[in-house]
Amino acid sequence: MSENQLNSKVVKFGGSSLADAGQFEKVKAIITADPARRYVVPSAPGKRYSDDIKITDLLYTCQKLAETGKDFSEPLSKIRSRYLEIAKALGLSFDPTDELDRIAYRLKEGATKDFAASRGEYLNGMLLADYLGFPFIDAADVICFNENGVLQMTETMMLLREKLTEVENAVIPGFYGSGPNGEIITFSRGGSDITGSLVARAVRAEIYENWTDVSGVLVADPRIVKDAAVINTITYEELRELSYMGATVLHEDAIFPVRAAGIPINIRNTNDPSAPGTLIVAGDSADSDAQTGYTITGIAGKKGFCAINIQKAMMNAELGFCRKVLTVLEEMSINFEHMPSGIDTMSIILAEDEIKGREKTVLSRIRKAVEPDVCELEHGISLLAVVGRGMRRTRGTAARIFAALAHARINVKMIDQGSSELNIIIGLLDGDFEEAVRRIYAMFVNSTLTDDDAEEA
């Protein structure tokens, strides 16, 4: 590992940051402003305006049409035009025609969705490398999956380090790698974040900068809370909780590679590079000087859940009751989110998609397994998470949350708090979700209510 690599930064740019030539110019200015920004991970070009189509989606369309033997020349032509337009505006001779011809041939021969989707990053990586004057390293040569599509960390780290020690700078496209037979395999959507994280770990980077179109992680969804505040510092644990519950600034799986190496992540805004963004750090690094200024760190949530409500007299005395219920779900390959319970009652919260079309079968099998007095399904539930390391040492946090909801006449269907006291999960009706987020945000970010006031409330 060279001295330059030890002091290096890995920078990942999202699709909106590379949507057109103007965005490419911003990206180059950011990279050249700091010589430590040596390793660049690009996404495929995103939307230039609200009704635009992402390159990745055009590639999916090509694959789908090819799969059914239909002509896909129109979406392929749009892809070619998009790259040529960017290259021409930047004064580059880059021409994707030959590569697109090879892609078209592969699609006609039955190439997979993963192959098709990955070509947006592949071509954009080549274009960006040309623009920056950096070497291009194909992610298929350094990101390894096994035959089941599981990332092979040891082999990936070995290959990345071997390749990156040979160069001072590099562009490595995000989102994909290759399997044992050389077939292209992608991460889930947003997986370029993971590629950046892997590269940062491989070079033991000083920091991993993830550049997007917002100035950091926000306390709440800006579509619900207008002008939501930016979180200055957040721990890996807090971000994982928020990501799992719907916050989408960073792919949740991107946390693990850098967390293990103690590398902080900085979420930055390509369109406002002077903004400090959000720094994501290890829990023991988030001292009192790095607080957000609020008791909570963030609010996130999702709709689309349902609850299986079960009642049975003397349930608590029946050995193995919960196990029998959960065995039914396991046998049907159904994941659940939460399981609040009482002496004679239990509820299982799960995503609607998990049991869609199988509702009657699930309930029938549970009734057969445990013979409950009542077993029914309740739809239209949202889950909302209030996350923050500050909740551990602040009195009255829960009181303030439920006071905010009570004042809005919002009924709480479920409450769940882990032993870490890092978050409180609340179940609500779908119709109350947005107002609940606004009320809790107002209570903690806009309110001057003291902890003693909250306890009295």
Per-residue pLDDT of the chain (457 residues; tens, 9 = 90+): 555 555 899 999 999 999 999 999 999 999 999 999 999 999 999 999 999 999 999 999 999 999 999 999 999 999 999 999 999 999 999 999 999 999 999 999 999 999 999 999 999 999 999 999 999 999 999 999 999 999 999 999 999 999 999 999 999 999 999 999 999 999 988 889 999 999 999 999 999 999 999 999 999 999 999 999 999 999 988 988 888 887 777 887 888 999 989 999 999 999 999 999 999 998 765 553 345 567 899 999 999 999 999 999 999 999 999 999 999 999 999 999 999 888 999 999 999 999 999 999 999 999 999 999 999 999 999 999 999 988 877 888 889 999 999 999 999 988 888 767 788 999 999 999 999 999 999 999 987 444 444 444 4
Contact 218, 269 (CB under 8 A): no
Listed in sequence order, the residues at least 6 apart from 250 whose beta carbon sits closer than 8 Å to its beta carbon are 193, 210, 217, 239, 243, 265, 267, 280
Nearest to 301 by CA among 383, 219, 363: 383
pTM (2 decimals)? 0.84
* Tokens 């991970």, located at residue: 41
Per-residue pLDDT, 294: 78
pLDDT digits (tens, 9 = 90+) for 34-60: 999 999 999 999 999 999 999 999 999
How far apart (Å, rounded) are the C-alpha atoms in residues 184 and 202? 21
Q: How far, CA to CA in Å, does 251 sit from each of 55, 210, 240, 247?
A: 19, 11, 9, 9
* pLDDT at residue 284, rounded to an integer: 61
| Domain(s) of CATH 3.40.1160.10: residues in the chain | 3-213
Helix (H, G, I), strand (E, B) or coil at 70: coil
Angle value at C-alpha 383, between 382 and 385, nearest 5 degrees: 150
Phi and psi of 220, rounded to 5°? -145, 165
CA angle 317, 322, 324 (to 5 degrees): 110
CATH number of 298-456: 3.30.2130.10
Q: Which 3-state string (H, E, C) describes 268-315?
A: EECCCCCCCCEEEECHHHCCHHHCCCCCCCEEEEEEEEEEEEEECCCH
Torsion of CA 361, 351, 191, 220, to 10 degrees: 180
CATH of the structural domain 3-213, one choice from 3.40.1160.10, 3.40.250.10, 3.10.20.90, 3.40.50.2300: 3.40.1160.10
In the chain, which residues fall in CATH 3.30.2130.10? 298-456
Question: For 138, how many CA atoms within 13 A lie in the half-sphere containing its CB?
Answer: 10
Q: How far apart are CA 340 and CA 322, in angstroms?
A: 11
160 in Cβ contact with 177 (< 8 Å): no
- Element (H or E) spanning 23, and its range? helix 21-32
